[in-house]
Structure 1
Amino acid sequence: MKTLIVGASGAIGRAVSLAFREDHLLLHANQGHVTISRMIESERLQAELVTCDLSDREAVEKWIKSIDTVDRIIYVAGHAVHGLVVDQSIDELDHLYEVHVRAMVRLIQATVACKPYDHPLDIVIVSSVWGEVGAAAEVFYSTVKAAQIGFVKAFAREAGPFHVRINAVTPGWIDTPMNDTVEESKQTVMDDIPLGRLGSTEDVAKTIRFLCSSDASYMTGTVLRIDGGWQ
């Protein structure tokens, strides 16, 4: 199996890469290529490193022309921004859109268009719980994550006849470096989570692994929340 993981250098991306370590991996990064190279070596993965700035439209177009047929696409790439809408530049929203939505759509569009008709393709998009319920001070981030979910639900209906399944996961508070930058204390969050702990990157990776397995062969257009009952 050949699995493309977009955004493999982050904490969740690394966990997903290891969850699919038996596959031939195409691991994408932008600035995190050194991290991925070290992971490939230390974990002895059968993997190729791919670099591309997803906010650069020309770079994305050049990259997608080189992609061969794959069996799975897992789109983990993205970043969050914090602040009140009235204080933020619209350029920040544009940048989020390029990475979270436009690059994602172009990649999927190109991959589905060039694959053999009867070749099955599984796609999982890592969105966020904020794409479902929204978050104050993360309105721009919530907006693009909601767009990802809308795409998954609609494209699942269109792509099913072409042997394509697409699903999404919406993690809640996962214990990653990205969430270390949030001012709200971890203990306060944990007190609000019914299961009493933060999520781990492995929690997310295992759910993605399930969605790509034969056990989930009748699931498409599904959004699975991974938040310990938080939201």
Structure 2
Amino acid sequence: MLKLANKTALVTGGSRGIGAAIVKRLAAEGANVIFTYVNSANKAEALVKEIESYGVKAKAIKADTGSAVQIDAAIAAATESGNIDILINSAGLFVTGGVEDETVDKNALRQQWDVNVIGVAHTVRTIVSKMNDGGRIITIGSTGAARSPYPGISDYSATKAALSAYTRSWARDLGTRNITANIIQPGLINTDMNPSDGPFSAAMVQAVALGRYGEPDDISAAVAFLASDDARYITGATLNVDGGQSA
């Protein structure tokens, strides 16, 4: 039985890595999926064709989550045929730089905040009027919200901590409509931004109880659960998918 049959999902940042895994898993569970991307239209269209092979509808929309204008246009396009049931906030930036590092690109740090926090908040505020009661809001955060395993990620960690606070408050705001809001905090996940064979992976994996990196499908499985009716009484929650890194 498909747990998300006849549901419509919008996934921001859905063309690569964790976002693409989420798009595929939601489609496999029967949801029609719309996703945004910033670069590589060819890759996005290839993903659309793959999703359609599951027998569901799919659409890719070029939109930068850091731009309110582009997000507004994307949501308008995504809701042309009806309301959204599931919103996945997956788009994000990772910019490093210690607080004493004078060479850090301050514009990049500001853009990180625009995409990771302001853009997500704007997306939620804009879409709730176009979301069906009983909907799901699932945000992809980071275990970095609660701990900083190495220097140079204070700004990134702060953005993810803000998302955790937002999620708890959205759960309160939207509970009367039976809309749930939860955040998934991945740990070490094997993506092109943080490959399991990277130069620092051997050192970082020592902090993981299971002794290995996770895969994007580990995150998409958690998303599919929270998006389903099985998770109807879970809201305002933080789910760490980190192989015990936070244990």
Same fold (TM over 0.5): yes
Q: Give yes or no for contact 1:194–1:230 (8 Å, CA) kept in 2.
A: yes
Residues 25-59 of structure 1 show CA distances to partners (whole Å, capped at 9, x for unaligned) of 10111114321211222452520111112222332
* Cα distance in structure 1, aligned partners of 2:9 and 2:179: 14
Displacement after TM superposition at 1:209 (Å): 0.8
* Cα distance in structure 2, aligned partners of 1:153 and 1:180: 31
Structure 2 match to 1:157 = 172
Give structure 2 stretches of 5+ with no counterpart. Answer: 1-6
> How do 1:32-181 residues align onto structure 2 when only pairs under 5 Å count?
32-43=40-51, 44-45=53-54, 46-68=57-79, 69-87=83-101, 88-115=104-131, 119-135=133-149, 136-180=151-195
* Cα distance in structure 2, aligned partners of 1:131 and 1:199: 18
Structure 2 match to 1:28 = 36
* Cα distance in structure 2, aligned partners of 1:155 and 1:220: 9
Count of aligned residue pairs for this structure pair: 229
RMSD: 2.0
Q: Give yes or no for contact 1:156–1:165 (8 Å, CA) kept in 2.
A: yes
Structure 1 match to 2:234 = 219
Are 2:18 and 1:7 equivalent residues in the alignment? Answer: no
Give structure 1 stretches of 5+ with no counterpart. Answer: none
Displacement after TM superposition at 1:188 (Å): 2.1
Displacement after TM superposition at 1:105 (Å): 1.1
TM-score by length of 1: 0.91
Displacement after TM superposition at 1:202 (Å): 0.7
Displacement after TM superposition at 1:67 (Å): 4.0
Q: Give yes or no for contact 2:14–2:36 (8 Å, CA) kept in 1.
A: yes
Change (3 A) 1:214 1:115: closer
Query: SS where residue 79 of structure 1 aligns?
Result: coil
Change (3 A) 1:214 1:52: same
Q: Give yes or no for contact 2:9–2:34 (8 Å, CA) kept in 1.
A: yes
TM-score by length of 2: 0.86
Displacement after TM superposition at 1:155 (Å): 1.3
Displacement after TM superposition at 1:192 (Å): 2.6
Change (3 A) 1:77 1:32: farther
Residues 125-149 of structure 1 show CA distances to partners (whole Å, capped at 9, x for unaligned) of 0000001223521111111111111
* Cα distance in structure 2, aligned partners of 1:42 and 1:164: 29
